Each structure stands twice: as structure tokens, then as C-alpha cells.
């Protein structure tokens, strides 16, 4: 018998002919399935599972706050579930009673489940809200800068993502597709909540077959596969904004701007023009100016500007560009450049903010809100921008800026994390290590012995999506999946719902949390609620019982071909964009009123704190890119054979241009050390001319593995090197891609990674002096 399951990287069919050894296969309807999810049941993955509730030894014996510097360095003691839940409930009650709920940080950032009910973030936030609330986070590491800047300019990222011009329109009408940062197919293996049919490769190939000209702008050239030729313009990292400004200067100086569109659909162009021509600062932002910054030749800039103006042009930008110091600027400048071309709202023209970032961008399916667990209202108003966790832990009481207002970091005494891994997402792990010692207690619900689990005080084992019943659904992916349980929980793992139900009962909110429902009763309730809502959109669903028997529903409710901002272009008065002016804000009065030196009222070139044109490049002459991995989602399934086969000698690869390798005596496959003032890590050299000179790349996701004596990271995790600094005072986003390093090698002594060595586990410890 075959059943289906859903994960963030796709829908899969599970063969249960041998119930003791279920086998995962690609879904037959997926034209381009991801191989990542095929390895979820591999023995190498199972070996990393947390099997029983585990308490850090000194915390168990001496209580909260004991020896936090030993997190990750001392044994755990396994206890039974009742003991563990009693300890967690007592500690939550102690902290909220002594310090208030604003001393609890409900982390939960990550991709723990494609299932809509057993979604760790929803479960933990619902629970914490019911016991008085928690300090929350805003936005994401992926889009920290864009989610704040874009509503000021043209509209929210959430809305923009769902309204992109569809692939069929691009193939029919686009003549020139210029992408800053490529369209990385590896990223489009996933979507939040799971993918249905992987569509990005097909979309790009169809465009190429139709004769679209592709231009890839950036420091690497293996992030755009169109099934044929494409052009590569090498541009220094973090300098795309300067290049776009020079393209704008060429449009203006050659009278290639659409002045009518700028007047009727935009506001503030005259103030940007004053900056562009140098009236405000005495610097004309021409092609010569941009060449000195970006390395792109003047003639290339001139020719590209002319081609964009004479073609139906789609400008695209990767999400990676806003994960840098001043990351707001390339997004603002892309919209400004597209507005000057005047093709926004025309079929095949305008701009895109992340084609290829996730599978659903460019989808022709309707956006339908799926089954959702209501989290309730959080009584605590304190929050942080998500990438500022180390700042918060290190500097309680300190003021920080965010989107025009001042806030204060709360004093955190307890972290409760479920669904996520800060020792993957965050930057500058050596700085995070010090901050991580501040709270009295760190609690995680976790499936695997990740670096975060190893650095916690209480670890509660959680089930995977294959070990529980759930409903898989993602908007604009076209499928709803009955995720039947296909494997028994490993060890004594519980699902998060049962864990929080047990805690809620102990803290007096059990009935409110469960509403008297089992997990299957919740699935039926959520499905029926969704069925009623969809009926209003003329989408009919079968009964829950029929859905569960079928295993999968194909929701082929398609939209007409979509052109982003088509209605706005036709009538901007009747169809304004959601900005203060109702127009595209090339100059923002509101942002200008914030008086931020690092984010003024229009797009501009602001020199990053680290880049190849800075003085620090003399000491660290290579710019490190830390992109998303191809063989895993973030750090998930890093121990799988699929992920391991991408490593060299057990280390994550570092891509280098042969010129840079030759200068350092490095050859293909050599073990090397990558370093800067923040940290050091070991990687294995891959020489390729697809990376421009002066640039190196280590994909993220290798499980963090520092040597306890020297601090040398042995696995190839770039976040021991990356910069933990907010993008600007406006958004405080992640600046991971602003990072200079150097590389030395080859390292002669074999350095074996210990990332997958389990922590020491001692015998049962039901008797405790804790709390």
C-alpha cells in the first residue's frame, strides 16, 4: 500500500509493502522532484535522534543557572517523561513568577514540519500565550531587510511573493531577463509548508526555448540554469546597488526613462535624480563611478542599460542580496530602476523579488489559506528582529532602533525553542556562544542532537513528520496531503502537541490548550474549518474521511495568467499600492523622517563595513558568500547519505577561483583553513571558474563542530566567520553575506569532524535537587 507524506522539499510516496521498512519514493506527479527527502528514514539520520528526555547534569543536580559555561561540554542524564515535564513546568512557573513573562524567549524559528497541525512554531506559541506570553521575534533571517523596506516602497513581501508574474507570461512576453544574484534552482527545491510540483526549472527552460535573453549579475555563475546559454556579468559582492545606480544614470543621461510612468505612478523621482546627478553630494553616479566600486566595465553598464530600455525586461533580485550590510538598498534600487524603465505592470516586464527563492514564486495557482492552528494573543509586547538574538541576550536594557521607533532589549532568563536551530541560522557563533551563557535555562523540543540541543539544559525528544498524523499543505502549491503516520517514534519521542498538553495541564491551562481534542480530532476540526472557508472561494473539498482515505487532493484551481501590478498600471488611482502615497515611493518621506544615516529617504550606495574595496580587504582579501545548501534544507538531514556525498573528506566544500587557489598553493580537494578576526573553520577546496576572483563560497548547513580546546570549527560551517550586525537601523536584518576572510593550506594533519558524535548520556536521574 502506498501513502503520501509532505515535507518542505516536496511530496513523497511511501511504500509500505514491508511495514517494518517503509521506503520513500518521489511523487509520480512531480516533474522535478528533490532528492533530499528520500533519505528521511536512513539509518545515518536515525542515529542522530534524541531518544529520551535528557537534562544537563549540573542543571539537574544543582538547579537553574548552574554552570551555563558548561552547556555543550558536559553529560546529559536521561529521565522519564513525567520527571521532565515536572521540571519544565516548575522552571517556567519560577521564571514567570519571579521575572515576568517578558523574561521568556519563545525562539521557534525554523522549518520543523510541513504538517499544519504538528507545526512546532504554532504549538509552542499557542502554549506560551496561554501561560502569560513570551518575547517574540519579527521577520526572518531569509528576508529580514526586505520585509521592512518593501512596504515603504511598494508593498509587503508576503503579498509580492504571491502576485509575481507567472512563468507562462514570462515565456511569452519577456525578451530580456536580468537577475541580480541568479535564480538558484537549489533554493526552489522548497517552499514553506512543502512543495507540490517543482516548477522553476521548467519555467526557466520554457523561457529560454522561447528566445529570452538571460543576464546573470553577481560574483558566481552556477546559480542560473536555463537549459542553454546565458551571460554572466561579474560584480563584486555587496556592490549591486552601485551598479544599478549607474544603470539608472545611463537611462537618465540617454533619455531612456519613461517619464510619464514616473510622474503618474511614482513619487519622489526628482529627489533621487538630484542624488544620481551629484547635485546633493557632488558625485555623479555614472558608469565610471560604478566601475571603480563594482568592477563591472563602463561599456558593459552602458550596453546593458540600452538593452533593458529597448527590450521587454524583467529585473529579478535574489533574496541573498538583502542579507548584507545595507541590504535594504539593492531592493529599493531594483524597484527604482524598474520604475525608470516604466515596464511595471506590462506582461513580461517589471521586477521580481525572488524568482527561484522558493518554488511557489511565479505559480499560476490561487492563494488559499490552509489549515491553521490558532496561536491566540501574546500579552507580552516585547520583541526583537529575529537576527538580533545575541544582542538581546548580551545587552538587556539596551535600546535598539527598528522601523522608525526605539525599543529596549528585555532581560531573558529562559529560552524555550521548538522547531529550529539557532546554531545554524545565526552569525558569528563565537559571539553567540557567549550570549548563550546568559539565560538561567535553555529548553528545546528536538528530534536530533543538533548543536543547539547539545547546548541546552533540557532536551525533550520530538517526533518527525513520518511518525505522526498530520495535514500537509502550502499555499499556491496545488496539493493537500493526508500525512499518515508511517513509522513508529524513535525511542520515547513525543509529538509537540502531547508535550505541550502535558505542560499545559501542569500549569493550569490544559483544557484551554487542548480544547478537549486528540490530535486526530484536531486534524478533522482544522480540515472542516478550511473546507468551510474555501467554499466561499468556490473550492469544494470532500469529507475529511474521504480525504484521509484518498491520501492526497490535487487542487488545480488556477488563476488567469498573472501580470504583477497590471491593475495598478492601468489605473493607479483606483488600484493604489499600499504605501502612504498610494504610489511607488522612489523617495519615502516616512523613511526620511526617521533620520537614519544608514538608511536615508531614497536608494543610495552606502559602503559596507566589509567588502573588497575596503581597507580591511588587505588583511582578509577574499569575500565569503554563505549561501543555501543544495543537499539539505538549512541544516536538516546533514547526516544523510545525500548530504554527506557532497562533502570532501568529511568537510563542507569551499568554492574558489583557480587564480586565488594558485596564489596560496591550494589544489583541488585540499583541506584548508578559512579564517578572519571572528573565527576559523576547516573546509575542502573545490576550484572553479564559476566563482569570480576574490570570492569564495561555503554553503551553510554543516552541523557546527568546534574543537573544545582551540575553537577551530572542524566541519565547514561558515557562521563562525560571518558578521553579526544588523543590516541597518531600519530593519536590523541579517548581514551574513558581508564577510571578508582569507584561506590558507593545505592543512596536512587530518582533522576529523565530531559533529555527529552523540553527547555523553548517563543513566536515569529521576531524583534531583533542581528547582
Which pLDDT tens digit goes with each residue over 104-128? Answer: 999 888 777 889 999 999 999 999 9
Q: Provide the grid cell at 262.
A: 514616473
249 is catalytic: no
Average pLDDT, the chain: 96
d(CA 199, CA 564): 18
Backbone angles phi, psi at 161, to 5 degrees: -60, -35
DSSP state of 530: H
**Residue 365 has what pLDDT?**
87
Question: How large is the average pLDDT for residues 84-95?
Answer: 98
pLDDT higher than threshold 80 for residue 767: no
Q: For the chain, how many helices (H) and strands (E)?
A: 26, 30
pLDDT higher than threshold 50 for residue 253: yes
Could you tell me the pTM of the whole model? 0.97
Neighbours of 121 (CB within 10 A): 21
d(CA 128, CA 490): 26
Percent of the chain with pLDDT over 90: 92
Q: Provide the grid cell at 200.
A: 522553476
Cβ distance 56 to 452 under 8 Å? no
Percent of the chain with pLDDT over 70: 98
Question: How large is the average pLDDT for residues 135-164?
Answer: 97
d(CA 609, CA 411): 29
pLDDT higher than threshold 90 for residue 169: yes
Question: How large is the average pLDDT for residues 669-687?
Answer: 98
Question: How large is the average pLDDT for residues 705-728?
Answer: 97
59 is catalytic: no
Cβ distance 395 to 409 under 8 Å? yes
Longest dimension (CA), the chain: 80
Question: How large is the average pLDDT for residues 687-704?
Answer: 98
The residue behind cell 536538516 is: 636
pLDDT higher than threshold 80 for residue 764: no
Q: How far is CA 644 from CA 5, 32, 638, 701, in A?
A: 24, 22, 7, 11
**Residue 194 has what pLDDT?**
85
Q: Provide the grid cell at 532.
A: 468551510
- pLDDT (tens digit per residue) in 646-657: 999 999 999 999
Higher local confidence (pLDDT), 20 or 563: 563
The residue behind cell 542553454 is: 228
Sheet holding 458-461, edge to edge: 104-106, 414-418, 441-446, 458-461, 54-56, 76-78, 761-762
Question: How large is the average pLDDT for residues 519-530?
Answer: 97
- pLDDT (tens digit per residue) in 552-584: 999 876 667 999 999 999 999 999 999 999 999
Cβ distance 706 to 714 under 8 Å? yes
d(CA 235, CA 179): 12
Question: How large is the average pLDDT for residues 447-463?
Answer: 98
Which residues does residue 554 pair with via DSSP β-bridges, in sequence order?
479
Backbone angles phi, psi at 240, to 5 degrees: -60, -35
**Residue 766 has what pLDDT?**
45
**Residue 204 has what pLDDT?**
98
d(CA 195, CA 188): 9
d(CA 569, CA 166): 17
d(CA 501, CA 507): 10
* The dihedral formed by the CA atoms of 305, 576, 319 and 228, expressed in degrees to the nearest 10: -50
Question: How large is the average pLDDT for residues 170-179?
Answer: 98
Q: Provide the grid cell at 331.
A: 531592493
Out of 111, 319, 494, 611, the active site residue is: 111
pLDDT higher than threshold 50 for residue 722: yes
Instruction: For 419-476, list the strands marked E by DSSP.
Output: 441-446, 458-461, 470-473
- pLDDT (tens digit per residue) in 337-361: 999 999 999 999 999 999 999 999 9
**Residue 558 has what pLDDT?**
67
Provide the pLDDT confidence category of residue 58 given band limits of 50, 70 and 90: very high
Question: How large is the average pLDDT for residues 468-483?
Answer: 94
DSSP state of 561: P
Out of 109, 275, 409, 497, the active site residue is: 109
The residue behind cell 538571460 is: 214
pLDDT higher than threshold 90 for residue 265: yes
Q: Name the helix (H) or strand (E) containing 402.
A: strand 399-402
Amino acid at each position: 500500500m502506498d501513502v503520501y507524506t509532505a515535507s518542505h522539499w516536496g511530496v513523497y510516496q511511501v511504500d509500505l509493502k514491508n511495514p517494518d521498512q517503509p521506503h520513500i519514493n518521489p511523487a509520480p506527479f512531480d516533474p522535478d522532484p528533490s532528492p533530499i527527502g528520500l533519505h528521511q528514514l536512513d539509518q545515518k539520520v536515525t542515529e542522530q535522534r534524541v531518544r529520551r528526555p535528557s537534562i544537563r547534569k549540573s542543571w539537574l543536580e544543582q538547579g537553574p543557572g548552574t554552570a551555563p559555561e558548561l552547556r555543550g561540554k558536559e553529560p546529559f542524564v536521561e529521565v522519564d517523561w513525567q520527571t521532565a515535564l515536572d521540571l519544565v513546568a516548575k522552571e517556567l512557573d519560577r521564571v514567570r513568577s519571579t521575572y515576568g513573562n517578558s523574561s521568556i524567549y519563545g525562539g521557534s524559528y525554523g522549518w520543523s514540519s510541513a504538517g499544519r497541525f504538528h507545526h512546532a512554531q504554532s504549538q509552542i506559541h499557542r502554549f506560551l500565550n496561554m501561560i502569560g506570553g513570551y518575547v517574540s521575534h519579527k521577520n526572518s533571517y531569509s528576508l529580514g531587510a526586505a520585509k521592512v523596506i518593501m512596504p515603504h516602497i511598494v508593498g509587503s513581501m508576503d503579498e509580492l511573493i504571491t502576485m509575481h508574474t507567472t512563468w507562462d507570461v514570462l515565456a511569452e512576453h519577456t525578451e530580456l531577463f536580468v537577475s541580480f544574484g541568479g535564480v538558484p534552482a537549489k533554493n526552489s527545491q522548497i517552499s514553506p509548508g512543502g512543495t507540490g510540483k517543482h516548477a522553476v526549472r521548467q519555467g526557466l527552460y520554457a523561457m529560454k526555448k522561447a528566445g529570452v535573453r538571460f543576464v546573470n549579475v553577481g560574483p558566481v555563475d552556477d546559480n542560473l540554469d536555463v537549459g542553454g546559454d546565458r551571460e554572466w556579468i561579474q560584480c563584486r559582492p555587496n556592490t549591486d546597488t552601485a551598479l544599478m545606480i549607474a544603470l539608472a544614470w545611463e537611462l537618465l543621461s540617454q533619455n531612456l526613462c519613461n517619464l510619464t510612468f514616473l510622474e503618474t505612478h511614482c513619487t519622489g523621482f526628482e529627489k533621487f535624480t538630484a542624488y544620481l546627478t551629484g547635485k546633493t553630494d557632488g558625485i555623479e553616479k555614472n558608469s565610471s563611478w560604478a566601475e571603480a566600486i563594482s568592477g563591472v566595465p563602463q561599456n558593459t553598464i552602458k550596453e546593458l542599460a540600452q538593452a533593458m530600455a529597448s527590450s521587454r525586461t524583467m529585473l529579478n533580485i535574489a533574496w541573498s542580496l538583502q542579507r548584507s550590510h545595507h541590504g535594504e538598498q539593492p531592493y529599493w534600487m531594483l524597484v527604482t530602476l524598474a520604475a525608470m524603465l516604466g515596464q511595471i505592470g506590462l506582461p513580461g516586464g517589471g521586477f521580481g523579488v525572488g524568482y527561484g527563492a522558493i518554488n511557489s514564486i511565479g505559480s499560476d495557482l490561487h492563494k488559499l489559506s490552509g489549515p491553521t492552528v490558532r496561536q491566540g494573543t501574546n500579552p507580552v509586547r516585547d520583541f526583537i528582529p529575529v537576527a538580533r538574538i545575541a544582542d538581546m541576550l548580551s545587552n538587556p536594557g539596551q535600546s535598539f532602533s527598528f522601523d522608525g521607533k526605539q525599543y529596549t532589549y528585555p532581560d531573558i532568563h529562559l529560552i524555550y525553542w521548538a522547531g529550529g536551530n539557532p546554531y545554524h541560522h545565526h552569525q558569528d557563533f563565537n559571539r553567540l556562544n557567549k550570549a548563550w551563557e546568559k539565560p538561567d535555562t535553555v529548553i528545546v523540543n528536538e528530534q536530533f542532537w543538533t548543536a543547539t540541543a547539545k547546548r541546552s539544559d533540557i532536551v525533550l525528544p520530538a517526533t518527525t513528520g513520518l511518525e505522526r498524523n498530520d495535514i500537509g499543505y502550502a499555499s499556491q502549491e496545488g496539493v493537500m496531503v493526508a500525512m499518515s503516520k508511517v513509522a513508529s517514534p524513535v525511542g520515547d519521542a513525543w509529538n509537540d502537541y502531547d508535550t505541550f498538553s502535558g505542560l499545559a495541564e501542569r500549569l493550569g491551562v490544559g483544557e484551554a490548550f487542548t480544547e478537549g481534542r486528540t490530535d486526530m480530532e484536531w486534524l478533522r476540526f482544522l480540515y472542516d474549518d478550511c473546507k468551510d472557508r474555501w467554499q466561499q472561494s468556490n473550492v469544494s473539498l470532500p469529507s475529511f474521511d474521504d480525504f484521509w482515505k484518498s491520501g492526497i487532493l490535487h487542487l488545480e484551481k488556477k488563476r488567469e495568467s498573472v501580470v504583477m501590478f497590471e491593475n495598478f498600471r492601468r489605473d493607479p488611482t483606483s488600484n493604489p499600492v499600499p504605501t502612504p502615497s498610494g504610489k511607488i515611493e522612489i523617495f519615502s518621506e516616512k523613511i526620511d523622517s526617521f533620520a537614519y544615516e544608514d538608511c536615508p529617504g531614497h536608494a543610495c550606495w552606502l559602503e559596507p563595513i566589509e567588502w573588497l574595496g575596503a581597507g580591511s580587504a588587505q588583511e582578509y582579501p577574499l569575500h565569503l558568500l554563505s549561501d543555501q545548501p543544495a543537499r539539505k534544507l538549512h541544516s536538516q538531514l546533514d547526516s544523510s547519505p545525500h548530504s554527506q556525498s557532497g562533502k570532501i573528506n568529511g568537510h563542507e566544500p569551499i568554492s574558489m577561483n583557480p587564480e586565488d587557489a594558485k596564489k596560496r598553493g591550494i589544489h583541488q580537494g585540499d583541506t584548508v583553513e578559512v579564517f578572519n578576526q571572528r573565527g576559523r573553520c576547516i573546509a575542502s577546496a573545490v576550484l572553479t571558474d564559476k566563482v569570480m576572483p576574490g570570492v569564495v563560497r561555503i554553503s551553510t548547513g554543516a552541523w557546527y563542530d568546534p574543537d573544545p580546546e582551540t575553537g577551530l570549527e572542524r566541519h565547514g560551517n561558515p557562521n563562525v566567520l560571518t558578521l553579526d550586525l544588523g543590516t541597518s537601523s531600519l530593519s536590523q536584518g541579517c548581514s551574513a553575506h558581508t564577510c571578508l576572510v582569507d584561506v590558507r593550506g593545505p592543512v596536512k594533519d587530518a582533522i576529523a569532524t565530531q559533529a555527529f558524535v552523540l553527547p555523553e548520556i548517563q543513566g536515569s536521574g529521576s531524583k534531583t535537587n533542581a528547582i
